[in-house]
Amino acid sequence: MSINKIAKKLVAHGKGIMAADRPPAAFEQLLESEGIPVDEDAYRNWSQLLFTAPKLNEYVSGIIMTPEQTQLRNDAGESLIAGVVDQGMIPGISPFKGMVALAGSDGETVGSGLDGLRERLAGFAAMGVGFTKWRAAFQIGPGTPSYYAIEANAYVMAQVAALSQEAGLVPIVEPEVMLLGDHTIERCFAVTEWVLSRTFEALYVHRVDLEGSLVKASMVLSGNECLQQADVDTVAEQTVKAFKRQIPAAIPGIVFLSGGQSDYHATAHLNAMNANYELPWKLSFSYARALQREPMAIWENRRENVPAAQAALYHRAKMNGLASLGLWTEELEGEAVAQKA
């Protein structure tokens, strides 16, 4: 399939992406912090729960996974990634090896994992992977993000995007402006515009085919510690305004990260943008927490809770699928309340 076709399939009508690419060590830390027991099968069991949830393919077009997850097998000993393909969903890979300190900066970061990436991507493509995701994280603070961090990350994201396309994979370019902090929505708007403008400049320099790329973006939000929280309509308005200024219409779709927003807000914001604006690109989701928070709380690493956790995952995927069409309503939220066994 051409990269343009893959990109369009990932943002097909009413569908979005599930980001399941939490690395094993971070996954175990999360379980510990939530008071959920950790054992040696937890990562496989959780990945199986996510990748085999019944009917998830109605609302999920692709799943972002870790290199470790591409090697996992289900209870019957069959490859999990093959099961994802059999359900008509596209497997994606996060080839990233973690954030490292950006030398000479004041605590800013850049993603690592460029060494040997060309060969690794060819290996993932041979496994049936259709796309990549690479994240940059920008913290708003006094003097940050810096020009240096924005340029350095834009160039790394663009290199990864170019290498992905060389391997026949759609790059999802993820410049995340983080929610943490007491900044106003106006500051987030200004930083988001700046980051997007430099990111697209770098994609141009690296000869990246925009028709075969997707952007994974953060919404324009008030910082989580800002005393004045912008309402849903303002978030939708400011986010669409920043994107229309800085994201070319040649991009087939923009998929949001949830970034620490509540499940409700991640869905309500997405819905407001799609319900109220004429948009030149598809606007959908690529959520991790806003899809998996509730299922994980239900699961508790207990096999008997898997069906209820999968039902909760399906429900959130459905709500966000509807929001990608501007068809979500608060009343629909009450539809399915999953019960633990």
Residues 210-269 that bind ligand 13P (CB under 6 A): 257-259
Closer Cβ to ligand 13P, 25 or 341, answer by number: 25
Closer Cβ to ligand 13P, 205 or 316, answer by number: 316
Cα separation values, 111 from 53, 152, 172, 292, 337, Å? 31, 10, 14, 24, 38
| 8 Å CB contact between 273 and 279 | yes
Helices and strands of the chain, counted as H and E runs:
11, 10
> Could you say which of 8, 15, 44, 289 contacts ligand 13P (CB under 6 A)?
289
198 binds ligand 13P (CB under 6 A): no
Which of the following is catalytic: 174, 176, 282, 318?
174
| 8 Å CB contact between 340 and 305 | yes
> Could you say which of 174, 238, 296, 318 contacts ligand 13P (CB under 6 A)?
174
* Residue 216 annotated in active site: yes
| 8 Å CB contact between 179 and 139 | no
> Could you say which of 46, 59, 189, 287 contacts ligand 13P (CB under 6 A)?
287
Closer Cβ to ligand 13P, 260 or 307, answer by number: 260
Closer Cβ to ligand 13P, 220 or 341, answer by number: 220
Shortest distance, position 93 Cβ to ligand 13P, whole Å: 12
> Could you say which of 288, 308, 332, 336 contacts ligand 13P (CB under 6 A)?
288
Q: Kindly report whether the peptide bond that precedes residue 95 is cis, defined as omega within 30 degrees of 0.
A: no
The candidate with the shortest Cα–Cα distance to 195, out of 257, 247, 230, 143, is 247
Which of the following is catalytic: 8, 15, 216, 318?
216
* Residue 174 annotated in active site: yes
Q: Measure the CA–CA gap between 172 and 161, rounded to whole angstroms.
A: 8
Residues 119-138 that bind ligand 13P (CB under 6 A): 135
* Three-state secondary-structure class, residue 111: strand
> Site residues (CB under 6 A) for ligand 13P?
19, 135, 174, 257-259, 287-290
Q: Which residues are tagged catalytic?
A: 174, 216
